[in-house]
């Protein structure tokens, strides 16, 4: 049986003001083609379908078009089985609207109460159980999970006496680890019953979470509770699962879950899953840039081949092969550039002028028209970060003393001294003086005054006010 694992589509997302729907459409249309050419039996989408709980009309239209195509696909002589779960960016209620009326091969698993019952897929006489966890917000999911654990008729082996009250009811900690452990207890109990009847049953868990040991990027939303945002990888060891299909982190990556001695594990089952983050379909931050830069930014989906008989033969799990396919989105390469002004406007511009770039410019002072000069060389300079190399040597400098300043020029030249570590040049003082005179003239005209006397009164008033305000501060 072949499974395609993907996540974090974030339909409707923008990057530095750029609408990404064009590239999201290309990626999703490519995905449809891959499902057909690779003869995929099951599609698992592990959360963050949309970028917002209230997606735009254009985002909904794109998803509806892709969703309809996927739902009507037939592969290997049977309808494509499709399983979606909501992530922390999605509205579970909105994503799950109409789930009960969808075709039998389409499964929107958006309810926490359903996590203990898997989607059962049967292909060629083999069965696969897919347990689909929506994003578990610790505050919102704990009461539901508490009721589910209280209603369990199987053992609650994940909890010791210190985690139970006098009546034997378990306490779910207010943390991502706490709610994931409760959800896993429901999954493990159900899987144990099914394996008692069918020992060869393969099982996948879809989860939208930050599991320890994985590498985040700058584009994921912070989900920390009490300063902790992750779930220990060891929680999934010896859980009986074959594969962990993870979403939330945008870097595609393997996650190692060590096989433990049963006595040392939480759930004490025989199988430990292999695990991967599929990563997002597009890059959504410069921290996801590849080295060397590449169109599509190294994004991928996971193809997973399962063989139920293999678990008994190897004593491991039912995963026969895992491989990744690079997403063909056409998203321009993300490039991070760091250099002097000559380098930025010279060799770097020649090489990366058409890419999407984040530029750090090392400067001894601020040159005139810096941003305009960069924009003339780069089609998409999306971040411009000037760094003044002389500033560190004079970190003790302070801004102008408002008590000692006699007029606006004292303040402005003090700012030049603070920012650039030197005195303002004559040409710079001339520009600043003209700006001060222009502001004074506008203030006088607004007040209805005319003539040199009024301007002098205005200048004196401004300086006096500055000194007064400086004293108050």
* Model confidence, pTM: 0.82
Asked if 355 and 332 touch (Cβ cutoff 8 Å), the reply is yes
Mean pLDDT across 359-367: 89
| In the chain, % of residues over pLDDT 70 | 89
Centre a 10 Å sphere on the Cβ of residue 210 and count the other Cβ atoms it contains: 21
Instruction: Provide the pLDDT for residue 37.
Output: 98
Length of the chain: 473
Look at residue 314 in the predicted model and tell me its pLDDT. Answer: 56
d(CA 322, CA 307): 12
- More confident call, 135 vs 364: 135
Comparing 265 with 212, which gets the higher pLDDT? 212
Task: Please report, for residues 105, 209, 412, the alpha-carbon distance to residue 285 in angstroms, rounded to integers and kept in the order given.
Answer: 35, 19, 36
* pLDDT of 467: 42
| Structure-token pair, residue 155 | 């053992």
pLDDT of residue 13: 97
pLDDT at residue 469, rounded to an integer: 42
Q: Is the dihedral of CA 435, 440, 446, 449 positive or negative?
A: negative
Reported as a single tens digit per residue, the pLDDT across 120-174 is 999 988 999 999 999 999 999 999 999 999 988 888 888 888 888 877 789 999 9
Pairwise pLDDT comparison (261 vs 206), residue with the higher score: 206
pLDDT digits (tens, 9 = 90+) for 441-460: 886 665 555 444 444 444 44
Judge whether residue 462 has pLDDT over 70. no
Which has more pLDDT, 279 or 155? 279
Average pLDDT value for residue range 90-115: 93
Tokens 């997002």 correspond to what residue? 280
Q: What is the pLDDT of residue 316?
A: 73
Q: What is the spatial distance between Cα 385 and Cα 357, in angstroms, rounded to a whole number?
A: 11
Q: Indicate the average pLDDT of the chain.
A: 88
Pick from 66, 52, 22: which is nearest to 331 by CA? 22
Q: Could you give the CA distance from residue 343 to residue 22 in angstroms, rounded to a whole number?
A: 32
Taking the CB of residue 237, how many other CB atoms lie within 10 A of it? 23
Residue 79: how many CA atoms within 13 Å on its side-chain side? 14
Among 155-169, 209-223, 291-305, name the one with the lowest average pLDDT: 155-169
- Dump pLDDT digits (tens) for 229-274: 889 999 999 999 999 999 999 999 999 998 888 778 889 888 999 9
């Amino acid at each position: 049986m072949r499974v395609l694992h993907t996540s974090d589509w974030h339909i409707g997302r923008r990057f530095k003001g750029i609408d990404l729907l064009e590239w999201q459409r290309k990626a999703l249309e490519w995905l449809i083609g891959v499902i057909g050419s690779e003869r995929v039996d099951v599609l698992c989408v592990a959360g963050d379908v949309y970028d917002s709980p209230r997606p735009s009309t254009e985002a909904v239209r794109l998803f509806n078009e892709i969703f309809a195509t996927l739902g009507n696909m037939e592969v290997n002589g049977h309808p494509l089985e499709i399983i979606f779960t909501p992530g922390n960016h999605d509205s579970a209620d909105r994503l799950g609207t109409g789930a009960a009326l969808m075709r039998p091969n389409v499964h929107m698993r958006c309810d926490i109460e359903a996590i203990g019952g898997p989607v059962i897929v049967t292909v060629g006489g083999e069965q696969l159980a897919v347990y689909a966890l929506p994003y578990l917000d610790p505050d919102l999911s704990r009461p539901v999970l508490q009721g589910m654990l209280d209603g369990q008729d199987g053992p609650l082996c994940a909890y010791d006496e210190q985690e139970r009250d006098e009546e034997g009811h378990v306490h779910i900690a207010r943390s991502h680890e706490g709610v994931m452990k409760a959800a896993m207890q429901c999954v493990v109990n159900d899987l144990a019953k099914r394996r008692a009847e069918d020992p060869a049953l393969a099982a996948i868990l879809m989860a939208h979470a930050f599991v320890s040991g994985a590498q985040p990027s700058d584009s994921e939303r912070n989900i920390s509770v009490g300063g902790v945002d992750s779930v220990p990888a060891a929680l999934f060891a010896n859980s009986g699962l074959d594969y962990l299909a993870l979403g939330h982190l945008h870097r595609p990556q393997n996650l190692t879950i060590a096989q433990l001695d049963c006595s040392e594990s939480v759930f004490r089952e025989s199988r430990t899953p292999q695990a991967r983050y599929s990563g997002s379909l597009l890059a959504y931050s410069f921290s996801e840039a590849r080295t060397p830069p590449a169109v599509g930014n190294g994004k991928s989906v996971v193809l997973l081949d399962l063989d139920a008989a293999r678990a008994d033969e190897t004593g491991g799990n039912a995963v026969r092969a895992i491989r990744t396919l690079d997403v063909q989105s056409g998203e321009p390469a993300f490039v991070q550039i760091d250099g002097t002004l000559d380098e930025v406007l010279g060799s770097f511009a020649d090489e990366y002028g058409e890419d999407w770039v984040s530029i750090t410019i090392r400067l001894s002072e601020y040159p005139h028209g810096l941003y305009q000069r960069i924009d003339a060389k780069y089609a998409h300079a999306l971040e411009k970060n000037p760094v003044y190399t002389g500033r560190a040597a004079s970190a003790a400098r302070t801004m102008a003393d408002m008590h000692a300043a006699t007029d606006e020029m004292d303040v402005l030249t003090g700012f030049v001294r603070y920012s650039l570590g030197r005195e303002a040049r004559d040409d710079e003082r001339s520009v600043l003086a003209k700006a001060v005179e222009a502001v004074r003239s506008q203030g006088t005209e607004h007040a209805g005054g005319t003539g040199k006397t009024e301007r002098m009164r205005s200048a004196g008033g401004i300086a006096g006010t500055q000194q007064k305000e400086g004293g108050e501060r």
